[in-house]
Chains A and B, each alone.
Chain A
Amino acid sequence: MMHDYLDEEISQEHEKELKTHLQSCEACKTHFHELKKTVALVQSTSHIQAPDNFTQNVMAKLPKEKKKAGMNR
């Protein structure tokens, strides 16, 4: 049910059940908290960008256009 919750696929009924259980079960509460923290940490990684000249480098490595295809490699 915790995973259904994290997948946003939990039914209202199960969500209620989960929440009630978490209030009384320390182990599950910790587990659930750790899972939520895991997701938050992974999502907190910064978005990095491709290096400079990436496109030029790709274009330079493309096989020559088809007319000369026979001569490639």
Chain B
Amino acid sequence: MESIVKKRIQQVRKGDQDAFGEIVELFKDRVYHVCFRMLGNRHEAEDIAQEAFIRAYTNIHTFDIDRKFSTWLFRIATNLCIDRIRKKKPDYYLDAEVSGTDGLTMYSQVETDDPLPEEEVESMELQESIQKEISRLPDKYRSVIVLKYIEELSLKEISEILELPIGTVKTRIHRGREALRKQLRSI
């Protein structure tokens, strides 16, 4: 996979824009998913994930071809997410429920009038509550928790993405886990 990516990047650098489309195809789900868990909202996630790819394209010449492309791409995406979170007004959290619900409209895309089976409703509600609690975490904890538990990345990779020492990543994971524990206790 890495060698295909490298080949495509070289093609993009030579001016082949279509080769970039293949890169987007390869990484779009992971980048979108991380953005969605960071932002808790579908529309914002789409917006930021698109922006991440556009920035990757316009800065492709700064990417060090000997490194892992996904690390670089996730760095762009998480930085954009963190900027977006910080730009939100503090009263954003009052809207968390609304944006949380909004984020889950993907379920309503399966348009049907049939009542959903009970366990499905339950799990949708559960998913919604978990996302809501993730969205309540301060951004510095949210990013490490999402990268570790949603994207299942190693501490080393997370430290490269966030440009933080491994020790700091670890501490943030511990604190994020403790914060989430308190928030999720009643579930």
* Residues of A that sit less than 8 Å from B by CB: 3, 6-7, 31, 34-35, 37-39, 41-51, 54-55, 57-59, 61-63, 65-67
Contact = CB atoms under 8 A, between A and B. Distances in A.
B74 interface: no
Contacts of B173: 3, 7
30 contacts: A3-B173, A3-B177, A7-B170, A31-B181, A34-B184, A35-B181, A39-B177, A41-B130, A42-B130, A42-B145, A42-B150, A43-B149, A43-B150, A44-B126, A45-B150, A47-B33, A51-B42, A54-B24, A54-B28, A54-B49, A55-B25, A57-B50, A58-B28, A58-B50, A58-B53, A59-B24, A62-B17, A62-B57, A65-B15, A67-B15
A-B pairs, top 3 by smallest CB distance, nearest first, are: A50-B32, A50-B28, A42-B149
B50 A61 contact: yes
B24 to A, nearest CB: 5
B187 A50 contact: no
B102 interface: no
A65 B15 CA distance: 7
A48 B28 contact: no
Contacts of A41: 126, 130, 184, 187
Given A48-B36, A55-B24, A55-B25, A42 B174 contact: no
A58 B52 CA distance: 10
Contact of A48 (B33, B50, B130): B33
A37 B180 CA distance: 10
A35 B28 contact: no
A61 B21 CA distance: 12
Given A35-B181, A58-B53, 13 more contacts: A3-B174, A34-B181, A38-B180, A39-B149, A39-B177, A41-B184, A44-B127, A45-B37, A45-B130, A45-B134, A58-B28, A59-B24, A63-B58
B185 interface: yes
A42 B37 CA distance: 10
B46 A54 contact: yes
A55 to B, nearest CB: 5
Contacts of A57: 50
B54 interface: yes
Nearest to B35: A50
